Amino acid sequence: MFSTLFLLLLLAFQLWYLASPQVKLPLAGYPAYVARRPRTARLIGAALLAVAALLFGRQLGWMTGLSAWLVGLMGVGSLVVTLTPFRYLTGYSLLLYAVFLGLELIF
């Protein structure tokens, strides 16, 4: 459950990061799509952040969940800023995560 919550935080922060006009990266694929539609990306990112905050609060209690959400947001924020130029988060990595999540839920 926690890995899924941190993945939601990672995706939300990456959407906000790519929608920022200060990003000066050569964009192709979904980052270029996000850069063309920053308002939609920010709306989806805000929704993902809110869902993650609610799920953290439900899982851990409201104060501990809020603290874990904030610490997780800072952690994934530093990861996104550091790793986005290398393009590590791809559709293949998300598919691999989904496969392992499915295996975890089955067994």
What percent of the chain has a predicted confidence (pLDDT) above 70?
A: 100
Mean pLDDT, rounded, for 57-73: 96
Reported as a pLDDT band with limits 50, 70 and 90, residue 61 is very high
CA 44, 90, 79, 6 torsion-angle sign: positive
Domain borders along the chain are: 2-106
* Alpha carbon distance 72, 6 (integer Å): 7
pTM (predicted TM-score)? 0.84
Q: Is the pLDDT of residue 30 over 80?
A: no
Q: Of 40-44, 48-52, 93-97, which gets the smallest average pLDDT?
A: 93-97
- Decide if pLDDT at 96 tops 80: yes
Q: 87 to each of 7, 19, 60, 91, how far by Cα in Å?
A: 16, 16, 32, 11
Q: Say what the pLDDT of residue 60 is.
A: 95
